[in-house]
Amino acid sequence: MTRYWRAAALFWLALAVSLQAQTDGGPTTPDGWRQAAPGYDWAFPRDHGSHPPYRIEWWYYTGNLETAGGRRFGYQVTFFRVGVDPAPENPSRWAVRDLYMAHLALTDVAGRRHLTAERLDRGGLGWAGARTGTLDVWNGDWRAALDGERHRLEALDGAFGVELDLDPGKRPARHGADGFSRKGPAAGNASYYYSLTRMPTSGRVLLDGEWIDVTGSSWMDHEFGTSFLEPGQVGWDWFSIQLDDGSDLMVFQLRRTDGQPDEHSAGTWVDLDGDSTPLVRNDVRLLPGRRWSSPSSGAAYPVEWRVELPGRQARFEVVAALDAQELHTDASTGVTYWEGAVDVSGQIGGRQVTGRGYLEMTGYSGQPMSEVFR
């Protein structure tokens, strides 16, 4: 087996154990990983950094960018940390405490192209890692780090990639109950979750070996915990929406085997001033529309959606900027999923709004996520 496939096998072993690990409500799993619980004491920039006591953690950057002439790009840079052993007995630097994965995608809307790359490495030898106390996570020469308050993002793969500076914009939006995001009824089936929902962005993208200057707006998600999915949760649909009136919306729908949204589906409304309002399942209706069938995986993804928030008299049409924005991650996380740039139009209380955002859809290809993470 290659190094990548050995590491991938370890990744799935670690993730399977983490998603099964439960206690009777205690803060720690039997194998020593801490579980998410209400009442976390948030502090920044500390919590932009890594949280090694928790088994699973990811830093997700997505955004919509444009050139001065209006040429549009979407991008995704994601770093994952999955714990293998909270306290390795072997002191060697070769001992595997954590595995690190990373995904890169660039959507060239005018060129109708979606380029992707992935990485997988172990921590301990400096090939990949994440600092505590501040944002500094890397996999090879891909990196997200703080420079003052600004986020510096670099990820290149051959003839494409991004080098971007992201200002924080609004203060962190803590999802759920002050950042405690429950995914199921069992103790510990939750995460700590916050977002920077509107990050003014500048820099350049690399495409076909040519550097192109861009500006735009990004969204950063950071989530960490130990146990996530419940049995019967086959996948999820996640939306990040930035509207032209300055408000932002995050919604995720956990899909069950019967096709219905799980009761722990949720979201957050962030107003112009950065004030957040949590949303529960009954606050949001997600109605899928036209589907695109992937010629490589056979999955049929809804690439047009209606998002309704009756309590706000809000209705949005969400349409993919490009249908073919599927990622295959056989050499890292092993999941095939759709993640890409979207356009948004609609109304709030009769007032017309437009916007852009990102949409992620999992569980449409291969095994249900609840079986993959068994």
Band (369; pLDDT cuts 50, 70, 90): low
**pLDDT for the residue 95:** 66
**pLDDT for the residue 11:** 47
CATH code of 177's domain: 2.40.370.10
pLDDT tens sequence across 124-167: 788 999 999 999 999 999 999 999 999 999 999 999 999 999 99
At residue 53, φ and ψ (nearest 5 deg) are: -65, -15
The span from the CA of 235 to the CA of 331, in Å, is: 20
| CA nearest neighbour of 196 among 223, 172, 231, 165 | 172
pLDDT tens sequence across 314-351: 999 999 999 999 999 887 888 899 999 999 999 999 99
Band (24; pLDDT cuts 50, 70, 90): very low
Alpha helices (H) in the chain, listed in sequence order: 3-20, 369-372
The structure tokens 């309590």 sit at 311
Number of domains in the chain: 1
pLDDT for residue 7 is more than 50? no
Mean pLDDT to the nearest integer, 109-133: 94
Question: How confident is the prediction for the chain on average, in pLDDT?
Answer: 89
- Strand pairing partners for 111? none
Reading the block at residue 55, the tokens are 């088994």
Tell me the DSSP string of 231-246: TTEEEEEEEEEEETTS
| CA nearest neighbour of 80 among 35, 137, 157 | 137
Report angle CA 229, 232, 238 to the nearest 5 degrees.
55
Band (30; pLDDT cuts 50, 70, 90): confident
Band (94; pLDDT cuts 50, 70, 90): low
Residue 45: is the preceding peptide bond cis (ω within 30°)?
Answer: yes
**pLDDT for the residue 329:** 86
The span from the CA of 366 to the CA of 336, in Å, is: 8
- Domain span at 342: 3-372
Weakest-pLDDT range from 22-31, 170-179, 223-232, 255-264 = 22-31
Mean pLDDT to the nearest integer, 200-209: 98
